[in-house]
Chains A and B, each alone.
Chain A
Amino acid sequence: MLLVHPVNEVIRFFPALIAAFLIGSSSGEGGWWHVAAVAVPVLIGVARFLTTRFRITATQLELRRGLLSRNVLTAPLDRVRTVELTSSPIHRLLGLSRVEIGTGSASNPGSDKLRLDSLPRAEARALRSALIHNVGHAAATDAAVDDVLLLLDPAWVRYAPLTTSGVVIAAAGLGAASQFVEPAINRLESSSVSLPAVPLGVTVVAALLAFALISSVLAIIGYVVANWGFTVSRDRGGRSIHVSRGLLTTRETSLDSERVRGVEVHEPLGLRLAGAARATAIATGLRRRDDNSAALVPPAPRAVVDRVGGLVLGEADPFSAPLTAHGPVARRRRFTRALAGAAVLAAGVVALVEALDASRWIDLSAIVAVVAAVPLAADRYRRLGHGLVGGWFVTRRHTLRGRRDALATDGIIGWSLGQSWFQRRAGLTNLTATTSAGKQAYGVHDVPESAALTLIRAADPGLVEPFLAPVRSAS
């Protein structure tokens, strides 16, 4: 039996320790606050250390833990899908790693994940190899003999401002800072400094530019912290894929190759205009909520994404093959929806302007919205595509989010065809394939019904034939 070091316990309490220490010293009668603040977490940590055990037998992994209640978690070794090694800065300082084991259980994501906090790093790596390759603990080899598929090129940082991550952080920061804005304005007004009169338009533009600059800087920082040293490698036997990245907290995820069922390529509008994209792996056993667990390629040039995706899947065609377009009916539907939506929005804006008697310049934005809807609809239609390429179900859709997914047909469990009332009239359907990997369902909307059924018939012969209506051939 191996022991698990409880350093994490003290680490977890470190901030509380410091706070208690400061509070104790500032309140004057610090004495026994200090003792309690230090002694309690240390005692808890030691208790956890003494009561946590784990064991690997030939067939399963057992983790026994619990201070007051006893928990025994077992996982059969052949159910292990992914192993993730995470090291926060403190872990790295001490040469430790936290091991998280995913078993692909659909019932209870995240809560009972097998987590071994703080093993020495070499031991954590050996454990990972043992679990992924399902060999004895002693026979595990190190990661040094892997094939490297991808190494981060620092020049890719230029794509960071084009993703939405910076905007999200900046918006959150803005929200937090807004409570300081009002007192600041009050102070400005009461002081005798007179500011030059600046027209509203210039102020708005300047504010937007400042926001864009701040969110770009934040995005770049976020990119560097999350993706520094991004490496994708595959072991010589091709049995597992390792992804490691991180500047402060390093994260190494290992996926059993058999459980990688496909690749999602994300091309949000900003990245797509710059010729870039990012990719995540579709695999069973990864936490579904945490998209970053499965990151395969950070924002990088499209050619790099396609190359790495092809290497991971073993086939480059799903990323380059042309997909079937959805036909004129789908195109008409895209235009109708976009123009109708824009018209409603414009009408609403005009009505509001009239009601509030605001500046007529705002009407201009309504016209811009309607005019912009046309190329947006055209792009949305152009992107729609589906196909069966080799053994992969490939779909492409969306303009702003920009997705192109390749899913292995033998990973597809069932099919779902949804039609709204309008789609039924138009003969279109939303085609979705359900799977136990990744986001559980992948598909595309506005597919002509006949094309959807032809695809299902080709992907899984014999499944849908009994349910087809008697065939009418159109010559």
Chain B
Amino acid sequence: MTESLTLRDPTERVSPRAPVVWAAGAVVRGLVLGGLLFAGSVVAELFTMSAWAWAAYAVVVIGYAVAMPLYRFRMHRWETTERAVYTQTGWLSRERRIAPMSRVQTVDLEQGVVARLVGLATVTVTTASAAGALRIEGLAVPVAHQLVSDLTRRADLETGDAT
């Protein structure tokens, strides 16, 4: 008799305003790529983009900017216990990271331009491993501050140099 283990999703969701930030990022990326296409087709004349091609591109960008943030909002979750931090990120693929509190080195809080307008922040938990950082995007600012103080308090209680 073997047990079949699965991981459940973390319990906490990010702020409902987070899709705004993600959508803004998607629109900016779409505009930049559109600019490159424009430069390639009109300025440098490497290829031609018909009106249909532009319309199709616009539809794809808008579709992406609307659908991706919604999927991401369903996927991005986080949870902290006394012993560990557990995050889940992604939208098509899913990545789950677990780091024990005893190995946390720094807890950073940052706000991008759009995030600050909407009142959100990103908390990054770093460990001694360059590949081992956990990011939680789209947290409401009070929640983010609370999380940072919780994590620093719990990490403080652990001794050792955390490598």
Contact = CB atoms under 8 A, between A and B. Distances in A.
A192 interface: no
Interface string B90-117: 0011111111100100000000000000
Contacts of B99: 413-414, 434
Nearest to B84: A463
A417 B96 contact: yes
A472 interface: yes
| Tier of interface size on chain A | 35 or more
Interface in B1-15: 1-8, 10
B100 A463 contact: yes
A469 B131 contact: no
B130 A440 contact: yes
Contacts of A359: none
Interface string A78-96: 0000000000000000000
A89 to B, nearest CB: 35
A51 to B, nearest CB: 34
Contact of B6 (A416, A432, A460, A469): A469
A450 interface: yes
A441 interface: yes
Nearest to B134: A414
Contacts of B57: none
A414 B127 contact: yes
Contact of B7 (A288, A469, A473, A474): A469
Contacts of A434: 99, 127, 129, 131-132
B145 interface: no
B87 to A, nearest CB: 10
B159 interface: no
Interface stretch (A58-66, A213-221, A419-427): A419-427
B86 interface: yes
B96 A413 contact: no
Given A284-B163, A467-B10, A414 B97 contact: yes
Contacts of A472: 3-4
B131 A440 contact: yes
A466 B129 CA distance: 23
A436 B81 CA distance: 23
Given A414-B103, A418-B95, A467-B98, A450 B131 contact: no
B67 to A, nearest CB: 14
A441 B83 contact: no
Contacts of A460: 100
Nearest to A79: B161
Contacts of B98: 414-416, 456, 463-464, 467
A225 interface: no
Contact of A424 (B94, B100, B103): B94
Interface string A423-450: 1100000001011100011000000011
A449 to B, nearest CB: 6
A106 B133 CA distance: 12
Contacts, number: 121
Contacts of A178: none
Contacts of B6: 449-450, 453, 468-469
A471 interface: yes
A104 interface: yes
Contact of A419 (B4, B94, B97): B94
B4 to A, nearest CB: 5
Interface string B1-34: 1111111101000000000000000000000000
B129 A473 contact: no
A320 B65 CA distance: 51
A458 to B, nearest CB: 11
A413 B132 contact: yes
A463 B96 contact: no
Nearest to A460: B100
A463 B83 contact: yes
A104 to B, nearest CB: 7
Interface string A402-420: 0000000000011111111
B133 to A, nearest CB: 9
A175 interface: no
A456 B4 CA distance: 14
A197 to B, nearest CB: 40
A414 B132 contact: yes
A415 B97 contact: yes
Nearest to A104: B163
B49 interface: no
Contacts of B83: 462-463, 466
Contacts of B7: 417, 449, 453, 464, 467-469
Interface string A18-42: 0000000000000000000000000
A454 interface: yes
Contacts of B127: 413-414, 434, 436
25 contacts: A104-B163, A106-B130, A288-B130, A413-B99, A413-B127, A414-B97, A417-B96, A419-B94, A420-B93, A421-B92, A434-B127, A434-B131, A436-B128, A436-B130, A436-B163, A440-B130, A450-B5, A453-B5, A456-B98, A463-B98, A466-B81, A467-B86, A471-B3, A472-B3, A473-B2
10 closest A-B pairs by beta carbon, nearest first, are A434-B132, A414-B99, A436-B128, A441-B131, A440-B131, A453-B5, A434-B129, A469-B8, A475-B1, A418-B95
Interface of B: 1-8, 10, 79, 81, 83-84, 86, 92-100, 103, 127-132, 134, 163
Given A288-B130, A417-B95, A435-B132, 15 more contacts: A413-B103, A416-B95, A418-B93, A432-B131, A436-B130, A440-B129, A441-B129, A449-B6, A450-B5, A463-B83, A463-B84, A468-B6, A469-B7, A472-B3, A473-B1
